Amino acid sequence: MADDADLKPLPLDGLHRRLGARIVPFAGYAMPIQYEGIIAEHNWTREQAGLFDVSHMGQLLVEGEGAADWLESLAPGDFKALQPHRVRYSLLLADNGGVLDDLMVTNTGRSLYLVVNGATKHDDIAHMQARLPAGISLHHMTDHALLALQGPAAVAVMSRFTLTPETANQPAFADLKFMAGARYQWNGVLIGVTRSGYTGEDGYEISVPSTHAEALAEALLAHAEVKPIGLGARDSLRLEAGLPLYGHDLTPEITPVEADLSFAISKRRKTEGGFPGAARILDQLFNGAPRKRVGLAIEGRMPAREGATVWNGDTQVGIVTSGGFAPSLSVPIAMAYVETPLAGDGTALEIDVRGRRIAARVVPMPFRQKNYVREGKQG
């Protein structure tokens, strides 16, 4: 822990420590990995509501005439058709079609609000700045924290807050649908709320001035349904939900088609192209990619971790990019890239774990909604 001094604290650092979090280094920040335990926190989020501090993520505002057109030169979404107060998942692409980052894009009506990964935000900003034309500005909202409230009780909890739309043309909080967002006055503070998240649960991400982040977190935690949740459970929740994690399941060597994220290439862009790597990506889209991201159900209880090799008989056919124990399913699960002919649901494969072969089977993702759902057993 000697390098703790080099880590930047989050705006909620004091609160995390008071709540008994175990703090670890992540993306250059001192971050809470867990409070009472990953399994308990994971299950609480699935059953009630979990509060996550994701302030390490980058919040960016793109403003100026033609901002949507410009973003379309970097990512394959149809941002010109993105309606005000709607949110889209997208991908920042390299010239060879590899994924530089995944991000959320919200049309605020005045600007495009982007949320990018914490570990990649500085590279993302440099990438964007280098391609920024005159008349469009890029602002890094370093004075804002980002909280996520996720779980089936999230809507009920947030509905108890008095949230007044910033302007009359923004949706009332009660009308905020999944993948929509708007700005609200809360206690005299302007907060940006999107109904989104990365846990496979309903909920919100809330952008709040850092100076008011602790007051908002405390106000949320005052509700009996809400507990603080660390990065550990965030990882197990997103894995069960089949959501890829940048730096692990997504890298500059992987294309959106290989990542099974073709849904993020909007219909118009599939016809028109015009995004980085379009030739390669559209060729893969129409003619097939050599490999594909799949979910693997693993026989037995021994988890397979990132880096474990995937085999079909004597031939290595893939590699695990995320793997662990699924608390809601009480079994190990993994994401892997495998050769496309072996990516079909039900394909029997093997994973090498410490020199031993364990049986695995390709299954559809998300793991939780579509497969063997049973009560999570307290580990």
Partner 1 sequence: MSRLYTQEHEWIDVDGSTATVGITDYAQGQLGDVVFVDLPESGRAVTKGGEAAVVESVKAASDVYAPVSGTVTEANPALADDPSLVNSAPEGDGWFFKLTLSDASELDGLMDKAAYEAFVASL
Q: Which residues bind partner 1 (CB under 8 A)?
A: 33-34, 37-39, 42, 232, 235-236, 301-303, 305, 324-325, 327, 332, 354, 378-379
Give me the phi and psi of 124, to 5 degrees please. Answer: -60, -45
- State in angstroms the smallest separation of the CB of 2 from partner 1: 11
- State in angstroms the smallest separation of the CB of 232 from partner 1: 5
- State in angstroms the smallest separation of the CB of 322 from partner 1: 11
- State in angstroms the smallest separation of the CB of 258 from partner 1: 26
Between 194 and 322, name the residue whose CB sits nearer to partner 1. Answer: 322
Between 2 and 168, name the residue whose CB sits nearer to partner 1. Answer: 2
Between 42 and 121, name the residue whose CB sits nearer to partner 1. Answer: 42
- State in angstroms the smallest separation of the CB of 214 from partner 1: 26
Q: Are 231 and 26 in contact (CB under 8 A)?
A: yes
Q: Are 377 and 330 in contact (CB under 8 A)?
A: yes
Q: How far is CA 164 from CA 14, 146, 171, 191, in A?
A: 29, 19, 10, 10
CA distance 146 to 140: 13
- State in angstroms the smallest separation of the CB of 129 from partner 1: 35
Token duo for residue 260: 């099974």
CA distance 365 to 27: 27
Between 36 and 63, name the residue whose CB sits nearer to partner 1. Answer: 36
Between 39 and 103, name the residue whose CB sits nearer to partner 1. Answer: 39
- State in angstroms the smallest separation of the CB of 302 from partner 1: 5
Sign of dihedral through CA atoms 52, 183, 48, 221?
A: positive
Between 240 and 258, name the residue whose CB sits nearer to partner 1. Answer: 240
Q: How many residues does the chain have?
A: 379
* Helix axes of 38-47 and 231-240: crossing angle, nearest 10 degrees: 60
CA proximity to 123, closest of 262, 11, 27 = 27
272 is an annotated ligand-binding site residue? no
3-state class of 29 per DSSP?
Answer: strand
Sign of dihedral through CA atoms 38, 337, 361, 91?
A: positive
Q: Measured in Å, how far apart are the chain's first and last C-alpha atoms?
A: 27
CA proximity to 82, closest of 67, 93, 94 = 67
Contacts of 180 (CB under 8 A, 6+ apart): 85, 86, 87, 171, 194, 195
Between 236 and 284, name the residue whose CB sits nearer to partner 1. Answer: 236
Between 42 and 85, name the residue whose CB sits nearer to partner 1. Answer: 42
- State in angstroms the smallest separation of the CB of 325 from partner 1: 4
Chain centroid to CA 219: 24
* Known binding residues: 205
* Residue positions forming the annotated binding site for substrate: 205
